[in-house]
Amino acid sequence: MSLCENCQRAPAQGEYAKSDRRLRLCRNCSERLNLQDDFEHLTLEVHDLAERGEHNRALGLLEGAWQEYRARDRDDWLKGAILAEEGFILERAGRLNEALEKYRSLRELGFHPSGRFGYSESLARSEYITNQIALARLVEKLYTRADAIREIESALESGQTAGDPVPNTLDALAEYARLARRVPVRYKPLLVKVSDWWGVPGPSQSPHDEVSLAAAVQEAWAARNGAAQRFAMLLQEARAPAGGGVPAKEAVELVERYIESEPVGFFRAQGEHLLDELGKGRRS
Ligand SMILES: [Zn+2]
Average pLDDT score over residue span 42-53: 94
Q: Specify the higher pLDDT residue, 209 or 48.
A: 48
17 within some domain? yes
Query: How crowded is residue 106: how many other Cβ atoms within 10 Å of its Cβ?
Result: 23
Measure 120 CA to ligand 1 centroid, in angstroms.
14
Average pLDDT score over residue span 27-51: 90
CATH number at residue 58: 1.25.40
Residue 118: predicted pLDDT:
61
Average pLDDT score over residue span 30-50: 90
Total number of domains constituting the chain: 1
8 A C-beta contact, residue 129 and residue 155? yes
Of 31-45, 62-76, 118-132, where does mean pLDDT reach its minimum?
118-132
Measure 81 CA to ligand 1 centroid, in angstroms.
20
269 within some domain? no
CA dist 53 and 223 (Å) reads: 34
Measure 12 CA to ligand 1 centroid, in angstroms.
7
Measure 107 CA to ligand 1 centroid, in angstroms.
26
Tens of pLDDT along 255-283? 999 999 999 999 999 999 999 988 765 54
Measure 116 CA to ligand 1 centroid, in angstroms.
10
Helices (H), 52-120: 55-69, 77-92, 96-109
> pLDDT-based confidence at 284, cuts 50/70/90?
very low
The secondary element (H helix, E strand) that includes residue 45 is helix 27-51
8 A C-beta contact, residue 267 and residue 274? no
50 within some domain? yes
Measure 65 CA to ligand 1 centroid, in angstroms.
24
Residue 116: predicted pLDDT:
56
pTM: 0.84
81 within some domain? yes
8 A C-beta contact, residue 181 and residue 212? yes
Measure 23 CA to ligand 1 centroid, in angstroms.
10
136 within some domain? no
Task: Check pLDDT > 70 for residue 148.
Answer: yes
Tens of pLDDT along 88-138? 999 999 999 999 999 999 999 988 765 555 667 888 889 899 999 999 999
Residue 259: predicted pLDDT:
96
Query: How crowded is residue 109: how many other Cβ atoms within 10 Å of its Cβ?
Result: 12
Measure 80 CA to ligand 1 centroid, in angstroms.
20
Say what percent of the chain tops pLDDT 90. 60
Cα 239 to Cα 228, 251, 260, distances in angstroms: 16, 8, 19
Measure 8 CA to ligand 1 centroid, in angstroms.
6
Residue 123: predicted pLDDT:
82
Tens of pLDDT along 212-262? 899 999 999 999 999 999 999 999 988 876 555 677 888 899 999 999 999
Of the candidates 158, 213, 155, the residue with the CA atom closest to the CA atom of residue 184: 213
Domain that holds residue 34: 1-119
In the predicted model, what is the mean pLDDT of the chain? 88
3 within some domain? yes
Measure 238 CA to ligand 1 centroid, in angstroms.
38
Residue 190: predicted pLDDT:
92
> pLDDT-based confidence at 207, cuts 50/70/90?
low
Measure 61 CA to ligand 1 centroid, in angstroms.
29
Tens of pLDDT along 153-197? 999 987 777 677 899 999 999 999 999 989 999 999 999 999 999
Residue 203: predicted pLDDT:
62
Measure 162 CA to ligand 1 centroid, in angstroms.
27
Measure 31 CA to ligand 1 centroid, in angstroms.
9
Measure 68 CA to ligand 1 centroid, in angstroms.
23
Measure 104 CA to ligand 1 centroid, in angstroms.
30
6 within some domain? yes
5 within some domain? yes
